Structure 1
């Protein structure tokens, strides 16, 4: 799907548009719900930029490309967008896909602001062309590890499918938890049926099971099996990557989908800007906006501020990463360098561990924060 988003009438001045490329998973096997929320945030922010005069009187035009969770497709889209003259590229949800997009953007000298992917090594070598809003996986997943320790869960099993992202998350958890006397055992989610996985959990004496699987349906089958096994009534089921964030999770699992902690990148309380954007996103989506929608809005807001302050030239945008300051929906955004992270990084997006309340599945309970997740200003 190649979808241009028309600029708002508020910026139609007759001057040529500033083009912005957007990478979004809108079809399977991509996480379509996440893509829909990401696109809603991007489009809302573009409309607001244009309604307020655009970029120095020039409308902002969003050129959307569907990655479908395919790294090669994303890489080709970046090259296509570069040829179409975009000033920068934003978006992408899937980490492995974002890594391919970042590599191509780096090779082309095209600024890429990654809104949602978390792999620490987004590029093989440090680059000036790529920045990121989402917290690095090492930060978020260590926060999740702290939650597990605080909940007294030290015998951790992970139902894992082959993926650089899942392998990285498992390594982060193991390195963080092992010094505290915890263990992490890997169970092959492709080789084991849900019932065989339950037997393995019993055999290992696991007190927590983390769902490190890419498809919601696969995760749901495991949840049903564990919930239905009387031997595992005390086992905590967790989903660090955030599957329960979206309404489709509850539609698929009902009450069984509640009480499953996951990572969410929101402050405990949104400030006035976040509240206002949240209301507009809610109206547009027809449901509660996820943190992914806020990531999309923030990404455009950052680039708009950068282009207004430093110009629309690609080199100027990339050179402004360490100097740009923008008010996002979740707090003030600035970028810096962090050890072990190859791109310019917002340090840090607020991180929460939340779950859906079993008594009211539409309500989220905050179980743990990283200590920096207070109210946004």
Structure 2
């Protein structure tokens, strides 16, 4: 019984995120097979590298559909997941999206696609509330050209404006990190959000701001989660601490979550990110659906609304959510956390929503 897995495993994809996502997917598949598989049949993961390329992802969906997979799983990058979701919808292939958050995964409502990650509008509004509660109402955003970053900037602006907040956009297509510092001084912003890729230009921006004495009091934030992975601490060291970001984990893991965390740590040789848990939960849901409804694709798509599965981060159910075109888990736990300046390998929970 085959499940197709879409994962960014090479650049320009976020390789460490892909590695964590795949670790979670593979661990759950192994556990399903250790417990007897699906109706006595082993589950097989057929992995395709998307490399953050929407066209490559769409072609992979076509290939996986032709191979007879029962469903698709995975993907981290939102613009890539959107291309995969559109193709899956057109082919009538169930797709459980693990990690991508862009609200509009498909142009029109569909029954073929469901999602575990919270929608961008949900998480980023929580982040905006955190900023306001911390006394930041004049926010600069360093942003690159992308549907995802543009959507994030719009969510922040729409949420902050009625509450007295202001969003000032800094176009990284026209500015270098030194110019960003000058713009920040002139704008009187008290916070700078990184709506940019990793490692560059995010790393260079952080280094420039940290070394500019005029900006000693400014908060640097990264709602998209760039500081979640060990790569961030390796590249930035102490400069990468105290940069709040969104993470989709509860304050305390359930016994299942704690067991999975321990096993993932052994496989990854580093603390598993929330993305690894999303991968594990994806297979947990699909295995439950396949046990109940078999490999018929239409039956799988029709079963999203009946799912009630205990995942690593709580009970997973899918529903129709306003302005979201796919079946959505509403909602996974959301935290705003940062790396502790006293110990950058340790995370501090700053806000929860």
Match of 1:37 in 2: 20
Match of 1:147 in 2: 130
Match of 2:222 in 1: 239
Q: Does 1:124 align with 2:94?
A: no
Q: Does 1:320 align with 2:284?
A: no
| Residues 152-191 of structure 1 mapped to structure 2, 5 A cutoff | 152-191=135-174
TM-superposition CA deviations, 1:65-113 (whole Å, max 9, x none): 0000000000000010000000000000000000000000000000000
Q: Which of residues 81, 88, 102 in structure 1 aligns to 2:64?
A: 81
| Residues 8-87 of structure 1 mapped to structure 2, 5 A cutoff | 18-87=1-70
Q: Does 1:334 align with 2:328?
A: no
Q: Which of residues 337, 350, 364 in structure 1 aligns to 2:333?
A: 350
Report the Cα offset of residue 215 of structure 1: 2.6
| Residues 285-296 of structure 1 mapped to structure 2, 5 A cutoff | 285-296=268-279
3-state SS in 1 of match to 2:305: coil
3-state SS in 2 of match to 1:364: strand
Cα distance in 1 between the residues matched to 2:64 and 2:16: 24
TM-score with structure 2 setting the length: 1.00
TM-superposition CA deviations, 1:195-246 (whole Å, max 9, x none): 1110000000010000000232310100000000011011000000001000
Report the Cα offset of residue 299 of structure 1: 0.1
Report the Cα offset of residue 366 of structure 1: 0.2
Cα distance in 2 between the residues matched to 1:276 and 1:115: 20
Match of 1:230 in 2: 213
Q: Which of residues 192, 198, 203 in structure 2 aligns to 1:209?
A: 192
TM-superposition CA deviations, 1:266-321 (whole Å, max 9, x none): 00100000000000000000000000000000000000001111222101110000
Q: Is the 8 A contact 1:266 1:352 kept in 2?
A: yes
Match of 1:193 in 2: 176
Cα distance in 2 between the residues matched to 1:219 and 1:319: 41
Q: Does 1:251 align with 2:260?
A: no
| Residues 74-113 of structure 1 mapped to structure 2, 5 A cutoff | 74-113=57-96
Cα distance in 2 between the residues matched to 1:326 and 1:49: 14
Structure 1 runs (4+) deviating above 2 angstroms are none
3-state SS in 2 of match to 1:216: coil
Q: Is the 8 A contact 1:305 1:325 kept in 2?
A: no
Cα distance in 2 between the residues matched to 1:49 and 1:191: 50
Cα distance in 1 between the residues matched to 2:138 and 2:82: 32
Report the Cα offset of residue 189 of structure 1: 1.3
TM-score with structure 1 setting the length: 0.93
Q: Which of residues 281, 285, 288 in structure 2 aligns to 1:298?
A: 281
Match of 2:204 in 1: 221
Report the Cα offset of residue 190 of structure 1: 2.2
- Unpaired stretches in structure 1, ≥5 consecutive residues: 1-17, 371-377
Q: Does 1:137 align with 2:120?
A: yes
Q: Is the 8 A contact 1:102 1:123 kept in 2?
A: yes
Cα distance in 2 between the residues matched to 1:295 and 1:128: 21
3-state SS in 1 of match to 2:68: coil
Cα distance in 1 between the residues matched to 2:200 and 2:343: 22
